[in-house]
Amino acid sequence: MNLRTLSLFAIASLAPAIGTQAAEVLLAPGVTSEGQNTASIALGLDWEQRWFERDAGHLTGYWSFAYTWWEAGDLSGDQQTVSVSPVFVYQFGGRWKPFLEIGLGAAYFTDDRVGDKKLGSRLHFEDRFGAGIRFSDRDSLRVRVIHYSNAGLEDPNQGIESWSLVYARRF
């Protein structure tokens, strides 16, 4: 069983555990800092907590469970990643409900090379920052950058970024 099949099976198997917890599916085509294409599918499980609730907005978050495909470069073939990350979201108030998100998680790559980068290891930290707008109770659109790095735990430590346009649909 390959990593893509295993990842999609794991994401689908989380569905019964969701219960009444709000969840969303996130689809994210993107491009790396090296120019290779990426494509990601993720399951976001909302946290039920809200902090610092004011008229201007509130802080909340979600768990992201993702599978990402990375286009081949000169040094490697197509790669795949599975990742998990807690993501904090500041949801502003108002009709269009803009938001900012930030997270730090972990990712496992199928190889220590992605595109033309030598990452030094397969296990990496995933730092993310995004901004978006929720334009209905169920739909949102965001832009996001995710930086992957092994934080100097292995040499070389050539990190890589993925810039994405993300569409999310709640269910």
Active site amino acids: 147, 149, 161
145, 33 Cβ separation under 8 angstroms: no
**H or E element that contains 103:** strand 98-109
Write the CA distances from 149 to 64, 77, 82, 134, 139, integer angstroms.
18, 19, 14, 30, 31
Alpha-carbon span 33 to 66, nearest angstrom: 20
In the block, which residue shows the tokens 């795949």? 80
Alpha-carbon span 11 to 7, nearest angstrom: 6
Question: What values do phi and psi take at 130, rounded to 5?
Answer: -150, 165
User: Which of 15, 17, 32, 123 shows the shortest CA–CA distance to 78?
Assistant: 32
